[in-house]
Structure 1
Amino acid sequence: MPDRPTVLFVCVHNAGRSQMAAGFLTALAGDDIDVRSAGSMPGDQINPVAVEAMAEVGIDIAGEQPKRLTEDSIRTADVVITMGCGDECPYFPGKRYEDWVLDDPAGQDLETVRPIRDEIKRRVETLIASLGR
């Protein structure tokens, strides 16, 4: 793995889980890890409840926009973490893949999204440790 690994978070709409994960990884790892996120069918905007849940812990993802998953984004990543996109996610040999099974925050209230957010943070912290950061 290169000196500065690239981690790509992927979910269907790139509006909730993957954005929260990218926000946590950026905040916790700083410049040690290149962080990206994308969706197989990106939504029109970031889930406002995900934005609110992240703001509660001091991380601003309000300026982010859902991005389309491309083969190039996977090809250039060292670690690809999928979150419920199933068969929509292309696979490239030689990459480190993890599938984080997490509830989808879409259409949920803040009380429901908070535990999802907290689980994402826990997994991001584990990921950082596994990358030696």
Structure 2
Amino acid sequence: MSVVPSPALPDERLAAGAARLATRHAGRFAVETVQRLLTDSYRRLAATAQVTTHLVVLAERFAAERLDALAHVSGVPGAGVPRVLFVCSHNAGRSQLAAALLRHRAAGRVTVSSAGTHPGPRVEPHIAHVLTEAGADPAGAFPKPLTDEVVRAADIVITMGCGDACPVVSGRRYLDWPVADPEGAPLAVVRRIRDDIDHRISDLLAGLPRT
């Protein structure tokens, strides 16, 4: 089994990403904090990634999500949009469906994240197909590990019936949706799982305050 190299700054690819993120968060986080978190994000993804061609790009996206979560936890002005976190074992099927569907239906009312307690190497093959059918954007979907700052930033944490135990943070709302697993399932079954999740998304949105 090949080992994915873990570049560290001043690797030029990570350095460029760190510079972009540091500019976005100027006045919020020190450059050193951004650099450390980006390098850590790369290493976490590299530990389970099956396709490594775009790993630096994905690490930058993952780090951006983690920095936004830190900003939310810190009470940074403008970071107070309600946040929903979907968690399942591999972050390759159910949680990816739920995150993309909520992002599509919410139209900016919430910030959505997903993560896995044991992230898989790739998203399940039929996930992008059924999301596109529903009008949701599957772009940017990739398995990510569950991190402390994302859990602490979430206002609502939803597990997907996988038996995953999430860290409990005081004041957060926790839900468990017992949804069937799409892993290895035929397309027709994945469509039914998508529709089940979509109904739950509608109920969730109906219970959220409108801003």
- State TM-score, norm by structure 2: 0.59
Structure-2 residue corresponding to 1:4 = 81
| Aligned residues of 1:46 and 1:62 also touching (Cα < 8 A) | no
Q: Deviations over 1:70-113 (max 9, x none)?
A: 12211110000001332432222211000000000001010111
**What is the aligned residue count?**
132
1:25 aligns with 2:117: no
**Structure with more of its chain in strand, by fraction:** 1
Q: Which runs of 5+ in 1 are unaligned?
A: none
What amino acid does structure 2 have at the position aligned with 1:4? V
Structure-2 residue corresponding to 1:126 = 203
Larger Rg: 2
Give 1:3 shift. 5.8
What amino acid does structure 1 have at the position aligned with 2:91? N
Q: Which runs of 5+ in 2 are unaligned?
A: 1-78
Residue identity over aligned pairs, in percent, reads: 50
Match of 1:117 among 180, 187, 194: 194
Q: Distance in 1 between matches of 2:138 and 2:164?
A: 27
- SS of corresponding position for 1:31: coil
- SS of corresponding position for 2:170: coil
State the Cα RMSD in Å: 1.6
Structure-1 residue corresponding to 2:166 = 89
Aligned residue runs from structure 1 range 53-92, under 5 A: 53-92=130-169
User: Whose relative contact order is higher, 1 or 2, with alpha carbons under 8 Å and at least 6 apart?
Assistant: 1
